[in-house]
Homo-oligomer: A and B are copies of this chain.
Amino acid sequence: MEPLFLRACRRQPVERTPVWMMRQAGRYLPSYRAVRAKHTFLEMCRTPELATEVTLQPIDQLGFDAAILFSDILITLPAMGIDVTFPEKGPVIGRPVRDQAAIDALIVPDPEQELGYVMEAVRQIRGALESRGGTVPLIGFAGAPFTMLTYLVEGGGSKDYAHTRRMLFGAPESAHALLEKIAHTCAAFLEAQVAAGAQAVQLFDSWAGILAPPDFREFALRWATVVIDMLRDSATWRDRQTPIIYFVNGCAPYLDDYVTSGADMLGVDWRVDIGHVRARLGEDVALQGNMDPGALFLPPEQIRERVRAVLAAAGDRGHVFNLGHGVLPETNPEHVKAMIQAVRELSTRAGG
């Protein structure tokens, strides 16, 4: 039988709801901070042994039902010809991409050639997970085209995304040219991760939620769909039928469009009632989410009530429990344990 997490992605019957957590390999874990103290963030991403070590920490210590590759959505940028650094306050891009010449200069890299250390990490992690029994699958990931565009154009994070909006609305043909290059990079990168052993892939559209609905369709959804279609058209994917997860942070305004992405599972951020999302989207797609990461600051007994509410709203079939966004670094790992225990206990079903 396939691992629990993969069956939930495919909306197959499950004996209980699987649980993992965005950024589960990260700063809230003392064992992660111990590794991070000795290495830069990029070193950790680029050293398969280190990436494997921190990817497995939350699996071994806390018992999640899926592992996610330790990496960063911006890891593809140096291979595209872009300098990026990762200070604590968030990534910084040396020369933002704001005109056609800068877009033309971008490279669509061959992932095995240029990002081989990522695929090596995938292989090592997958091997370690198999040696632990193979019940915990590995999720690979990439940044979705629109979100990657915002980083390239803004030069990092942003408060008002003014540069992004200036390109989308003032030079839409440049925006689409940039999105196309990113989409090709993204699809090839995900395909290479699947070939190396990733058993599911997640496309992160962390900033698509800044757009008005018609612009979400034109600049975010359209290109995420292109990536999903390219991946599904690949021989690698057809051999494996790897579940594809699409996550738009701030999805509430776009629900009717969101469901058309072609993904097997849609990520739901914490701001919206997941029961409302289920009612609106119907039964043909799995949902992942959506407890507020901040709710892990609650006392354990109240975390349990939050878990219960999410499970009840999301329903039994086609649900993966997750936070609605990445876990906050200030989170107490004991509270994460309480969350996992609550999901396991409260979602156990007689029928399976």
Instruction: List chain A positions with a Cβ less than 8 A from chain B.
Output: 90, 157, 159-162, 164-166, 168-170, 209-213, 215, 250, 252-253, 270-273, 292-298, 302, 324, 328-330
Contact = CB atoms under 8 A, between A and B. Distances in A.
Nearest to A214: B309
12 contacts: A160-B293, A161-B294, A165-B292, A165-B294, A166-B297, A169-B294, A169-B296, A212-B270, A212-B292, A213-B271, A215-B292, A250-B250
B271 A210 contact: yes
Given A292-B215, A298-B169, A298-B170, A162 B272 contact: no
A328 B168 CA distance: 14
Contacts of A170: 297-298
Given A253-B273, A271-B209, A298-B170, A159 B157 contact: yes
A162 B292 CA distance: 11
Given A90-B159, A328-B160, A328-B165, A271 B294 contact: no
Contact of A297 (B169, B252, B253): B169
Q: With a 10 A CB-CB cut-off, give which of A165, A210, A272 has the most chain B CB atoms.
A: A165
B210 A165 contact: no
Contacts of A164: 294
Contacts of A297: 165-166, 168-170
